[in-house]
Amino acid sequence: MNKKAVVLLSGGMDSLLTLSMALNSGYYVYPLHLNYGQATEPKEYECFNNILKYYGLNENLIVDVEHLRKIGGSTLTDANMQQDNADIPNSYVPFRNANILAIATSWAEVIGASALYIGASEVDYSGYPDCRREFFDAFEQTIRLGTKPDTHITIETPLIRMTKADIVNKGIELAIPFELSWSCYYSNDEACGECDSCKLRLKGFAAAGIKDPIKYKKNIYL
Amino acid sequence: MNKKAVVLLSGGMDSLLTLSMALNSGYYVYPLHLNYGQATEPKEYECFNNILKYYGLNENLIVDVEHLRKIGGSTLTDANMQQDNADIPNSYVPFRNANILAIATSWAEVIGASALYIGASEVDYSGYPDCRREFFDAFEQTIRLGTKPDTHITIETPLIRMTKADIVNKGIELAIPFELSWSCYYSNDEACGECDSCKLRLKGFAAAGIKDPIKYKKNIYL
């Protein structure tokens, strides 16, 4: 029987590549999708489902993390907040990745998975503290001490040292369906091209010399 | 302005004492209650509200952690499972406290709280790995690395070295309303007196030489 991995699949380009890399490493993959009240959840949910179909994956878990919406404190979960340009931009959802990894660990422990895959990168860095490898190392230690003695779960971050251009190039190599992914923080139809996430994605495609197949309202590289 | 603390308040005797100790330490208290699909949630919710009224607390957050019910793997969240007698009993909800603390941390970061209070004890030990101080130490490190640089949150476990008898005695000293708390895992009317949680509570009252004011179907100490 194949070893099992829970893969965090938002529907973005990074999580799509991460899923493909987990499959490539021989894992039987359990995709986990979180709705935490982000403005683009309808589009992300559509992408999540299309990616499952593309790879023929059956098992999955969708969790409505309503508390991150209730708690607020981020432009992604509170429509009344305006985007700023601080070192840690206020699109940061407080401690979001710990909430996501706690859910993933609970599921992994029940189904007997030995790895969690998450598509975080430190290089084209968002500034979010919970996207750094040292955070994931600390969380691994928390898993070791907070689960049963015979539960062994690692956190795999295969994109952690990749630039967005590296991610695009690796995606081409693994023939991932970029057109089924979504990165824009604020729009559900055409990507805005102006939010931090759109800018990073467009920069990655430009650096790789490849055209992004999704549509943009504005693309400074064209 | 008083310093702020998020206090995990299930409605059990231990969390009630923890709340009282946080108030005694001068904190402005934000109680957090989690519904994770446990059989006794109706009773716990009633106790939570009665305790808020008793202490005149206004701010609070109630979170429906539906994923722990979806994920299952525990007698507390899956009605088809039978209680066992393993070293780690199968009332253990996989990685529950990490899920709870992640939510508490997100809330604490948004409201500017500097402490999380949780009523875990290592002494009359349930066998749950996520109730040990070394787990909470690891989680504190995860908080340090996963939140903003100016966020400083400690995890306070004032009951960690207390026996159930100590907890009863301290509760008497602080005049906590034991009659408003609930510990039974399986019953919503009279406490069963037979589950691990009832047995521990009854043992504590017996050792302290005091009568528990709540009603039991069965009480081996009478």
Kindly state the percentage of chain A with pLDDT values over 70.
98
pLDDT recorded at residue B124: 65
Size of interface A-B (CB pairs under 8 A): 142
Strand partners, A30: A6
The average pLDDT across B16-45 equals: 94
Most confident segment among A84-98, B8-22, B54-68: B8-22
The average pLDDT across B91-96 equals: 83
Contact, A21 vs A43, CB < 8 A?
no
pLDDT recorded at residue A31: 98
CA distance A55 to A48: 11
Which whole-number Å values give the CA distances from B97 to A86, B66, B94, B130, B131, in the listed order?
32, 15, 9, 6, 8
pTM given for the model? 0.90
Kindly state the percentage of chain B with pLDDT values over 70.
97
pLDDT recorded at residue A125: 60
Which of A68-72, A171-175, B61-65, B104-108 is predicted least confidently? A68-72
Structure tokens at B144: 């340090």
How is the beta sheet containing B28-35 ordered, strand by strand? Answer: B61-64, B28-35, B4-8, B115-117, B154-156
CA atoms within 13 A on the CB side of B216: 21
pLDDT recorded at residue B33: 96
**Residue in chain A lying closest to B102 (CA):** A99
CA distance B219 to B206: 10
Residue A182 CB coordination number (10 Å): 24
For B124-160, the pLDDT digits (tens) are: 666 788 889 999 999 999 999 999 999 999 999 999 9
**Residue in chain A lying closest to B151 (CA):** A94
pLDDT recorded at residue A67: 87
pLDDT recorded at residue B1: 60
pLDDT recorded at residue A183: 93
Chain B environment of A78 (Cβ under 8 Å): none
pLDDT-derived band at B39 (thresholds 50, 70, 90) equals confident
Strand partners, A191: A216
Instruction: Quote the minimal CA–CA distance from A169 to chain B in Å.
Output: 29
pLDDT recorded at residue B175: 97
Contact, B21 vs B130, CB < 8 A?
no
Which of B142, B144, B153 should one mutate to test binding to chain A, selecting the residue with the greatest count of A CBs within 10 A?
A: B142
Which whole-number Å values give the CA distances from B9 to B16, B27, B63, B125, B213, in the listed order?
7, 15, 12, 19, 20
The ipTM (two decimal places) reads 0.88
Mean pLDDT of chain B: 91
